[in-house]
Structure 1
């Protein structure tokens, strides 16, 4: 983002900007002087939405129009759409985006009208076409002709909708004369005799010009002084969060989260856009993602039905061809290497481990070779395997919850034990610090797949996964029973570190759960627990009752 620093415009993530736009939309739609029961009901919904979403009472403040600028594909227009959709949902309004000219507003919708201004040199798009009308003067019985304009129906609809948003897209790409025409639209929500309605929110988007290789017209001070202006940028973390919410299934993000962790520079390659080459940006990753997901869906099917366990079953050529055409050659080359490692080794090993199946000779050799490699090759493999183990277990638990919502934990115990045993056996002696990564991956993916406090969900107001107390206790029980639970990490038994840093960490979100609060005592203060985590362990089952775990 260094190139944008020269513009001296504040930068905010798309996630942060969506929240600002949500607040401004609610403020714009509020009726300070309600004149009907409908107005009173809408105000009540706005006040409740504000309290629910932002945890503070509503205080009416007329908002300023917002202009979002930034690199192509960074989510400027999408930020407005996401904010509008969420507000429509909060207020029980239908979300209607760019309807056809024959659409008739009902007053029960949030109408989102997007006007593309890129390259526009005429104000007809805003003002409409001129036409001649007659006026009859009763004083002397004369007829006079005058010229007026017929505004586009899409814009006259705005004031008749239940709520409305007018977005002037690619504002900086319009000619200066068109930008000047839009000044009164931005600030006053009207142009000449056409009124868009007092409760229409108006915003604009635009590129950066020389900083991102786009052609833009000069933007006058009069334009920039009409409202608030930000440079919008997306982050890989925000992109993955949206993706997992959109695709809460087994294939999910097609492992892009791990790819961006390994190659953070591949999320956005703006220098390529100046050369006219395909380049990586959030928009293009969103367009590529369905192809990646398709590739992994086929891969999962082939794994289940393969006759040759050693065969590489991933359709790499087709997937990478799609990637080259959308995110460019350089990024696709790194994606190919990443997927080669993932599909050749990690995915089948993790799937068999959770199912409790024996690895074949090739997989065992690969596992030993990679774990014995102290360089980047071994580190990459270990990180991917630990994440994948957590993800696979999350999928299996989510299936059990869907099929047996009242008995999911009991049906998941074997898989949880397989997860703990394989993770401790594989990394306990070589790289024990990877074990918490597997648990964190489990919690994150499970919260996305299930989103139910009975199993796991993300914390209110925070993006931190929360696993249910009973699930945490079952995992902790398996950890205590693991033969390698006494392995020491920084002179502390590994089972203590794992329990304290990952499992008991959720006590801050569900402090009323006695079982959950006991986890911290178990892993930190209980003498019986300390005794079974020494190198010479007594029989585990004999100690479980004294740890409050006899019910398991």
Structure 2
């Protein structure tokens, strides 16, 4: 990754080769799920707008549209063509509808009910999302309900959640796995897509109806006979997830900004991007690697790593994490990926992980561990060296971020000098350990200064993001802010402190803080300047230069 661009994930936002083949075979236009969601949100909002018939609902729609798009609502079409998202399993097709619905609810400031039951009581201004799973259904009963006789006429009594859809002016229905439905179910669903009808039951003109489905032979899934009438009623896309989007979601998830983090799964995928969604033999059965299975695996790994740390902190002697995760990896992402991932975790857990924990402990790195890391990173410089370096820095950064945030954000009385002194001592200790971990294990001599810079930027962004996620009343320290490009502008206090401690890592043989990486003898460029000062200050410097240029033009 780029040394200075924390969000340099665009290179990983292309479809996997296997997805490209599916696009070619299906003839469908391809679009990332992440880019489908904004368009889907607007389609849903335009469907919900009543054109003045319900001013309360229209005000909510217009409020959400402005908040999500940055410009005022306008509808230039008579009707909205519903969306049919097709693609292989595990890409987030149904999730796209959930995310769009949640974003709209948040922008409106209302509640979202997903698949509500009879015990739920949504108000008129709450949003109802019903996911009608059609795969395996032999009859359309779950859609249209059961027949009943009323005054000599047969009518269908709709299921409770369908009644909720009809009663709500803010409603969404997803016909999930439509391509795997039998003919009778498909026939019942088609009028709902365009006319909002389930037999003689009206869903309501403001109900948005979308659909998802697999690709059949193209992605080795079961589907029933397609219908031109169905396709002509919808705009159909092949939706897919990417490694870049998955990493972006994970990095922005505040739940993962702790000492456990992503359990090195991001490091593995960055080094093996082809394994995010690998080609799969049609004869292969069992689990396979998808973004959904990686979501599940991440949860499994976080529990395994968390339990291991808890046992360690309790004074127990737990077995290696490697033993616990081996079969679970195979069971969630399949044999091919598991074989490579198990080798990766062997390298990580035998060296990088314990070394990082040791480096950030009060005991710091032992001479033996430092020598081991130095030999692996600065001398060997092989593929294993890259794995160890990335994994070591990732774990060090996660521990440092958690400790620095908790120390700095502690509420202390301004008159309590003893408490303030204690916090300064604790912060200095963490920054010193963090600096030694970056500049005393051979990373600079091993030509990995860019990894140090990335680590520092990642820590800065996580500190700022963690602070921003808190209510203002719970923020007790100014960590800085994110600029318009989502890059961190860390507070001067932390930049200066980190630079000071890193510059002092100059011990014989290992110390690389002031190691010359460029420049001239008269004006050398040091590792600290390249890995800390430049990345953390270039944003504010650029903004200052831009402001000066604007002011010069005005005069």
* TM-score tier after normalising by the smaller chain length: 0.7 to 0.9
Give the total of aligned pairs.
Answer: 497
C-alpha RMSD of the superposition: 3.1
SS in structure 2 of the partner of residue 56 of structure 1: coil
Please say if 1:247 is aligned against 2:270. Answer: no
Distance in 2, Cα, partners of 1:102 & 1:96: 12
> Which residue is equivalent to 1:547?
none
**Structure 1: runs of 5 or more not aligned:** 135-144, 519-552
Aligned runs of 1:134-533 on 2, under 5 Å? 134=151, 145-244=152-251, 245=253, 246-269=255-278, 271=280, 275-304=284-313, 313-355=319-361, 357-360=363-366, 362-371=368-377, 372-404=379-411, 411-426=426-441, 427-431=443-447, 432-451=449-468, 454-455=478-479, 464-480=487-503, 483=506, 484-491=512-519, 493-494=525-526, 495-499=528-532, 501-507=534-540, 511=543
Structure 1 position 472, deviation (Å): 2.7
Q: Does 1:7 align with 2:26?
A: yes
Cα distance, 1:274 vs structure 2: 5.3
Query: Which deviations, in whole Å up to 9, do the C-alpha atoms of 1:98-118 show, x marking residues without a partner?
Result: 122465543242111111111
After superposition, what is the alpha-carbon deviation per residue over 1:407-460, rounded to whole angstroms, capped at 9, x for unaligned?
777852332233224422332333234321321332344345444693256555
Q: What is the TM-score with the length of structure 2 in the denominator?
A: 0.80
Corresponding residue for residue 110 of structure 1? 127
Change (3 A) 1:76 1:59: same
Residues 296, 314 of structure 1: 8 Å contact kept: no
Higher RCO (CA < 8 A, seq sep 6+): 2
In the aligned structure 1, how far is the partner of 2:96 from the partner of 2:328? 26
Cα distance change on mapping 1:366 and 1:258 into 2, 3 Å: same
- Which of 142, 149, 156 is the equivalent residue of 1:132? 149
Secondary structure at the counterpart of residue 6 of structure 1: helix
Q: Are the counterparts in 1 of residues 117 and 160 from structure 2 also a CA contact under 8 Å?
A: no
After TM superposition, the structure 1 stretch with the greater mean CA deviation from structure 2, 492-501 or 436-445, is 492-501
- CA gap 1:365/1:479 in 2 versus in 1, 3 angstroms: closer
- Between the aligned partners of 1:273 and 1:404, the Cα distance in structure 2 is 59
Q: Distance in 1 between matches of 2:105 and 2:256?
A: 22
1:164–1:87 Cα change, 3 Å: same
Structure 1 residues 48 and 437: alpha-carbon distance in aligned structure 2, compared to 1, 3 A threshold: same
Counterpart-to-counterpart distance in 1, 2:304 and 2:483: 32
- Quote the offset at 1:325 in angstroms: 1.6
For 2:154 and 2:490, locate their aligned partners in 1 and report how far apart those are by CA, in whole Å: 68
Contact 2:173 2:209 (C-alpha < 8 Å) held by counterparts: yes
Q: Shift of residue 376 of structure 1? A: 1.2
Q: Distance in 1 between matches of 2:241 and 2:393?
A: 27
Change (3 A) 1:472 1:327: same
State the structure with more CA Rg: 1
- Cα deviation per residue 1:214-240 (whole Å; 9 max; x = unaligned)? 111232222112122221211223223
Take 1:505 and 1:214, find their aligned partners in 2: how far apart are those partners?
50
Q: Distance in 2 between matches of 1:273 and 1:43?
A: 49
The 8 Å contact of residues 136 and 180 in structure 2, kept in 1 or not, is answered as yes
Measure how far apart 1:94 and its partner are: 1.7
Per the alignment, residue 141 of structure 1 pairs with: none
CA distance in 1, matches of 2:137, 2:341: 39
Q: C-alpha offsets along residues 327-370 of structure 1, whole Å, 9 cap, x if unaligned?
A: 11222222222222222222232233334634335423421331
5+ residue gaps, structure 2:
1-18, 415-419, 470-476, 507-511, 549-555
Q: 1:106 to 1:441 in 2, by over 3 A?
A: closer
Q: Name which of structure 1's ranges 102-111 and 451-460 shifts more when overlaid on structure 2.
A: 451-460
Conservation of the 8 A alpha-carbon contact between 2:495 and 2:533 = no
CA contact 1:485–1:493 (8 Å) conserved in 2: no
**SS, match of residue 130 in structure 1:** strand
